[in-house]
A and B are shown apart, each in its own frame.
Chain A
Amino acid sequence: MPDEKKICMSGSGLTKVFGFGREKCLAVDHVDFNFYEGEIISIVGESGSGKTTLAKMLLGLISTTEGEVYFQGEKRDISTQKKKTEYWKNIQAIFQDPYSSYNIFNKIDAVLLDCIHMKGGRKLPHAKKVELMAEACGFVNMKFEELTNKYPFELSGGQMQRLMIARIFLLKPKILLADEPTSMIDACSRATILDMLMQLRNEIGMTIIFITHDIGLAYYISDSVYIMEHGKLIESGSADEVILQPKEEYTRRLISDVPKIHEEWDLSTV
């Protein structure tokens, strides 16, 4: 039921301008959106269309020039560091490059322990902590016993990205922001990671904001799709609506750019 869905995050007139004067660059241009709880939302666009800037604004990593973000019906307040930390308990992110997402001096147990501590489990007995960590590793099909005493750089890219998901599993935030999580790993591990994200949504009821340039991925994983062009959200709707009956020329172009196997791939339109 569409009217029963609760809005998890929304934005009105969100704008980001980089630089000023003649060098002004409008990266995100008055964007409005409503993200519903428990949905997987995709934001699709070319490189340079402002997807990552929007993501950073939602995360509170950069300030907004104009507009407001509403989180669970209330205006988001991240004016102090303390409030920011509080906010980040509810929203977490996975980034594009797994190789640079970790502190290289920390071992994997430390990475996962940090998450338990962040959730307020500092006083838990050690056995309980190990159990929690093992459960998280089990969720992403990895064995905790093999990972202890290893550093993140000893893992492959796909494994690192899965470990990122294990972190998210421990933290259980309300919103997960995945910024091209699969663009640097091969097609086979990609399928695993997409399935894990969907499992996260099904088991924990997390809202996932999935940013990608590949409309095929967006179609596979998401419930609703937003198309972004030059900082504007130009089309939105459910995945079937947007991809099977696109209204905008730009969306049609994005779809035609992806190689397909059952239909002819038209190279003449570049």
Chain B
Amino acid sequence: MSRVMLEVKELTTKYITRFREDIYAVDHVSLKVEEGKSLGIAGESGCGKSTLALSLMGYYFAPLHYTNGEIIIDGRNISGMDPDDVRKSILGEEISYIPQCAMNALNPTQKIINFIEDVYQAHDPYKTKEEIYELARECFNVLGLPADVLQKYPVELSGGMKQRTVIAISVILFPKVLIADEPSSALDVTSQKMVIKMLQNLMEKGLIKSMIFITHELPLLYNVTDDIMVMYAGQIVEKGTAKEVVFDPLHPYAKGLMGSIIVPEKGLRGIKLAAIPGVPPNLKKPPVGCQFAERCKYVQPECKTRSVDLREVEGGRAYRCIFSEEKLRDVYLREAYQNAR
């Protein structure tokens, strides 16, 4: 077993609204990412994917608050640290974050190089501008970006280029863990591919040790990451390798998500996409029992009364459902058979 780069134990964070209501957007999440591995997080909008990403950085600002749990990056526990220390010594160096809307992440009145200078100087105030320029140029070279981007303003760059620049800036201090929060959702397919290639390049060259990739595009997740974790209402509902989760999902929610996959492959046209009806529950008043019970096709009376724990099965998989593995597979198979008829 290789080194564990990021370990999260029972992390719970909440939002506090202006009416003093608690919203538990990340609810007892545990995960582990090993060196050289990538973890994908899937789920609908409003499932707590992005909140999890923000929480993992250990840098909390209102309305997001830390409740309990541990975040251990390469053996170093950052969960109890002072926010200012986290910003200075953890962010950028140990863990780094690519925001969802990179189009708006850059300051329009600053050249890219000025932005990079700010990043460097926050961590090492004694670096000169020349040194920083050399380092930045080298980093851009390795990542396959033209060096003249450095002297440009964000408005001069195309969307895909902006996104790649933001990625380059976020890995410029070579963090151990990179969190990519929907890095390609605003791009067209060709730019998306370039961004993905760049991320894989980073992993292969060892500039980053491990990656967490968040998206709702399952075909993309399947191609990019080793493991997939499905989130629903702030909880993990299924965990497994990419292949297992995409081709053999256990939890009914994961199964429903797989029904919305669209790929340009033969035989797709005849299929009717199966969308999950309804919306995720309001986390201000989370339902007692299984969070998914309201929308579940196979709901039982007891689902609504008792809470369901994450069930570990062999091979490192886990899912959160009252039914056994065999029972679920049997139900899905029977359903597929009926649909075929």
Interface of A with B (CB < 8 Å)?
46-47, 141, 156-158, 185-192, 194-195, 213-220, 239-240, 243-244, 253-255, 257-263, 265, 267, 270
Contacts and interface: CB of A to CB of B under 8 A. Distances in A.
Interface stretch (B5-13, B190-198, B298-306): B190-198
Contacts of B222: 259, 261
Contacts of B34: none
Residue from A218, A254, A255, A260 with most neighbouring chain B CB atoms (10 Å): A260
A208 to B, nearest CB: 16
Contacts of B272: 195
Contacts of B265: 260-263
Contact of A47 (B45, B46, B188, B218): B188
A213 B184 CA distance: 13
Contacts of B218: 187, 261
Nearest to B261: A261
A91 B46 CA distance: 34
A258 B263 contact: yes
Nearest to B256: A188
Contact of B263 (A46, A141, A185, A216): A216
A231 B269 CA distance: 28
Nearest to A243: B264
Contacts of A243: 264
Contacts of B45: 156-158, 185-186, 189
A188 B276 contact: yes
A108 B111 CA distance: 43
Provide the main secondary structure of the chain B interface: loop
Contacts of B276: 188
A162 B77 CA distance: 45
Contacts of B266: 244
Interface in B73-89: none
15 contacts: A157-B45, A187-B260, A189-B45, A190-B260, A191-B260, A191-B275, A195-B273, A216-B264, A218-B264, A254-B189, A254-B190, A257-B189, A259-B217, A259-B220, A267-B196
A216 B262 contact: yes
B44 interface: yes
B23 to A, nearest CB: 16
Contact of A156 (B46, B264, B273): B46
B217 to A, nearest CB: 6
Contacts of B231: none
Contacts of A186: 44-45, 216
Contact of A220 (B224, B269, B274): B269
A86 B262 CA distance: 37
Nearest to B198: A270
Contact of B264 (A158, A188, A192, A215): A215
Nearest to A47: B188
Contact of B189 (A190, A214, A244): A214
A195 B260 CA distance: 11
B273 A194 contact: yes
A259 B263 contact: yes
B272 to A, nearest CB: 7
Nearest to B247: A261
Given A213-B188, A267-B196, A270-B193, A191 B273 contact: yes
B173 to A, nearest CB: 26
Nearest to A182: B262
B2 interface: no
Contact of A213 (B189, B219, B263, B269): B189
A151 to B, nearest CB: 18
Given A189-B45, A190-B262, A267-B197, 20 more contacts: A47-B159, A156-B45, A156-B46, A186-B44, A187-B257, A188-B275, A191-B259, A213-B188, A213-B189, A215-B189, A216-B262, A216-B264, A216-B268, A218-B264, A219-B268, A220-B269, A261-B219, A262-B265, A270-B193, A270-B197
B275 A258 contact: no
A47 B190 CA distance: 9
